[in-house]
């Protein structure tokens, strides 16, 4: 039971670290980069959250 809890915690931590990496990449984009891609930062952030957490 303890092993299962630790595995679950490790899995959640790994997912959170990956999510944070993606968010950092989105935040690092300049407004010019976003304009060139025809993208909106808030849409990208919302989509990242949905992709990782399904909400």
The DSSP-derived string for 6-52 is HHHHHHHHHHHHHHHHHHHHHHHS-HHHHHHHT--HHHHHHHHHHHH
The conformation of residue 38, written as its DSSP 8-state character, comes to T
Backbone angles phi, psi at 26, to 5 degrees: -65, -45
**What is the number of structural domains in the chain?**
1
* pLDDT tens readout for residues 1-55: 999 999 999 999 999 999 999 999 999 999 999 999 999 999 999 999 999 999 7
Domain carrying residue 7: 2-53
pLDDT value at residue 55: 75
């Amino acid at each position: 039971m303890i092993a299962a809890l630790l595995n679950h915690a490790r899995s959640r931590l790994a997912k959170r670290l990956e999510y944070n990496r993606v968010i950092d990449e989105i935040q690092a984009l300049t407004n010019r980069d976003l304009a060139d891609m025809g993208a909106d930062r808030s849409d990208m952030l919302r989509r990242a959250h949905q992709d990782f957490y399904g909400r």
